[in-house]
Structure 1
Amino acid sequence: MNRQRGLALSALLLWGVVIALVSIIVIRILPEVTEYYKIRQAVKAVASESSGKTVPEIRQAFGKYAEVEHVKTIGPADLDVFKEENQIVVAFAYEKRIPLIANVSLLIDFHGSSSGRNLGQ
């Protein structure tokens, strides 16, 4: 006799809820992650073009990149500009709170630098 195999309706509903919750989280997080990568790319571009520039000029250059890329999360004043091993390093750090459902939210700490190392905060 052939034995039937498959999912029960309750298991199908459970997996549907799990997939829906994961999808909601991914949809809410994805724009913030793409903005982080835009900021990181702009910081690296500004740092690579920073030879002989002052700190205000570096911040102004980042402001132009941020305006073109539509970055609203951080501004030029939020950058840390310093020298490390005779190279200019531009670093940033910020927190982003993402509301998920009702009063539940997700807090992500973003930080990066033009040196390639993440400077822990």
Structure 2
Amino acid sequence: MLNKKYQDGMTGAGWVIVLAIVLFFMFMLIKLTPAYLEYFSIKSSMASVAEQNVGNSSTGEIRRLLEGRFNINEVKSVKASDAKIKDITGGRALYIKYERRIPLFGNISALLEFENEVPLN
């Protein structure tokens, strides 16, 4: 049978380490979640524009519709002018690629890269 000394559980130092790890991941979650929520708003805006059958519309008209969706969804990281209209097999696609740099602490930042493409057919 094991000695009672080895069955006491985690020490105070062990709890501090576990708490530090949990707090670090909670901090990261709090800092990064807004960027991902905005990305999902951008994807939703692009899909909404694509659903309007704008495949034959001018680039300016597509960007105007996209800018309106960005304003409604309060997208601040990108502008409709950052979106590209690409020629793809069978039509055109709305494409956007951007980066978000989020300061964490001191001189350490998180760099998030986002990319989305939606066919306009």
User: Aligning the two structures, in what range does the TM-score lie when normalised by the shorter sequence?
Assistant: 0.7 to 0.9
TM-score by length of 2: 0.88
Query: What is the CA distance between 1:78 and its match in structure 2?
Result: 0.1
Query: What is the CA distance between 1:58 and its match in structure 2?
Result: 0.2
Q: Which residue of the partner structure matches residue 64 of structure 2?
A: 60
Q: Which residue of the partner structure matches residue 100 of structure 1?
A: 104
Aligned to 2:86, what secondary structure does the other structure show? strand
Question: Which contiguous aligned blocks of 4+ residues in structure 1 show a shift greater than 2 angstroms?
Answer: 1-5
Aligned to 1:114, what secondary structure does the other structure show? strand
Q: Which has the larger radius of gyration?
A: 2
Asked if 1:34 corresponds to 2:37, the answer is yes
Asked if 1:114 corresponds to 2:115, the answer is no
Among candidates 3, 7, 11, match of residue 8 of structure 1 = 11
After superposition, what is the alpha-carbon deviation per residue over 1:37-91, rounded to whole angstroms, capped at 9, x for unaligned? 1101111211221133111000000000000000011111100112312232101
* 1:16-95 pair list within 5 angstroms: 16-49=19-52, 50-95=54-99
Letter in 1 for 2:23: A
Aligned to 1:92, what secondary structure does the other structure show? strand
Once structures 1 and 2 are overlaid, which stretch shifts more, 79-88 or 61-70?
Answer: 79-88
Q: Which runs of 5+ in 1 are unaligned?
A: 116-121
Once structures 1 and 2 are overlaid, which stretch shifts more, 66-75 or 77-86?
Answer: 77-86
> Quick one: distance in 1 between partners of 2:106 and 2:63?
38
Instruction: Give the total of aligned pairs.
Output: 115
State whether residues 44 and 113 of structure 1, in contact with CA within 8 Å, keep that contact through their aligned partners in structure 2: no
Cα RMSD of the aligned pairs, angstroms, is: 1.5
> Quick one: distance in 1 between partners of 2:57 and 2:108?
44
Letter in 2 for 1:97: R
TM-score by length of 1: 0.88
